[in-house]
Amino acid sequence: MRQRTYLSPTLRDLPADAEIKSHQLMLRAGLIRQTASGIYSYLPLGKRVLKKVEEIIREEMDEKGAQEVLMPAIQPAELWEESGRLSAYGPELMRLKDRHERDFVLGATHEEVITSLIRDDVKSYKKLPINVYQIQTKYRDERRPRFGVLRSREFMMKDAYSFDTNYEGLDESYKAMYEAYQRIFTRCGLDFRAVEADSGTIGGTDTHEFMVLSEIGEDTIAYSDRSDFAANIEIAPVQVPELNKDKEALRTLEKRETPNVKSIQEVCSFFEVEPQITIKSLLFIIDDEPVLILVRGDHEVNEIKVGHLYPKAKSIELATEEQTVKVIGCQLDLLAL
């Protein structure tokens, strides 16, 4: 291939939305170009990088006895209705109709399709265990695509699915995939941690995420340098030292005016108290019902943990300002001292 005909356009000036170094370097080196928000074309150099990563993944998955398949990106919505995830997955699931007005979705993940496939074609337990994987384009309608290809609406993903006859076999399959992922991340030269995580709409327990340590990103993890403990902050248990109650005399409950004071910081400054001795409340709408969540003044509400309190809920959202005014008559957080 001659260099003068090689499609590798470089950039001197970067787009304003290229905030992080990886995005900037991929644009400047001519690996990718944006087609629309969160949608990218991979140019020859970018495609070569993808192929090298895919080769590592295939080698490690094949070593563990997994079999590669390729499933359709367009999936019948009825499969998602059967699993109960059509509404639970939320607006990130891209939906469409064909010319006959039949409902379909663009594949954000493939649990429904692979389950239907195995259910229809594996007729005996003697064929199990089976572990299949694919490397395929996925689609998720991100509300705010960002960080280049890290948070995009169309992306390449490797997903694997195992089918076993009992929980012991399931544990063995899980262990095999855990080891494969460790080798994949190690061979790619990444500084990573396998952390306990929330399983989200997929369900189940004993979930791990392999997290690459970085200064950017949207997840925070807690891990120990002296043990193998690591967990996503979404599920990590909170251990807070008990407050010294002897320093605070018990006060008589009374109503106090707080003119033009709204935030927890403003209220604490107004009363000359520390946030950790206050309680703040946030209104959530859970399956169309208002629920008030109370936390210590210096803490934040973890929506994933709220979801664990309501495991059967289909919708958990922080109330809008209009909903807050309608339900409790105030515009911002409620505070109680």
- For residues 178 and 43, membership in a common domain is answered with yes
What integer pLDDT is reported at residue 197 of this predicted model? Answer: 64
208 in the same domain as 303: no
Radius of gyration for the chain, computed over Cα atoms and rounded to the nearest angstrom:
25
One domain for residues 56 and 177: yes
The alpha carbon of 323 is separated from its chain's Cα centroid by a whole number of angstroms, namely: 26
Whether 65 maps to a domain, the answer reads yes
Asked if residue 4 is part of any domain, the answer here is no
Same domain, 219 and 94: no
Ranges under pLDDT 70 in the chain: 1, 197-206, 233-249, 331-337
**pLDDT value for 44:** 95
Query: Is-above-0.75 flag for pTM?
Result: no
Q: Evaluate whether residue 31 is within a structural domain.
A: yes
Q: Could you give the 3-state DSSP secondary structure of residue 137?
A: strand
Model pLDDT, residue 174 = 92
195 and 180 share a domain? no
- CA atoms of 88 and 300, how far apart (whole Å): 24
pLDDT score recorded for residue 336: 44
Structure tokens belonging to residue 175: 């262990």
Point out which residues pair with 286 in neighbouring strands.
Answer: 289, 316
294 shares its domain with 202? no
Same domain, yes or no: 49 and 136: yes
Burial 25-60 (b: 16+ CB within 10 A, else e): ebbeebbbebeeebebebbeebeeeeeeeeeebeeb
SS3 call for 144: coil
Residue 254 lies in a domain: no
- In terms of domains, do 53 and 107 share one? yes
Element (H, E) at 306: helix 303-309
Look up the CATH number of the domain holding residue 88. 3.30.930.10
Report the alpha-carbon distance of residue 332 to residue 337 in Å, rounded. Answer: 16
| Tens-digit pLDDT profile for residues 23-82 | 999 999 999 999 999 999 999 999 999 999 999 999 999 999 999 999 999 999 999 999
Q: How many domains would you assign to the chain?
A: 3
Domain that holds residue 182: 12-187
Residue 167 lies in a domain: yes
Asked if residue 121 is part of any domain, the answer here is yes
16 and 58 share one domain:
yes
Query: Does residue 3 fall inside a structural domain?
Result: no
Do 225 and 310 sit in the same domain of this protein? no
Residues 325 and 285 in one domain: yes
Packing angle of the helix pair 167-187, 44-63 (nearest 10 deg) = 140
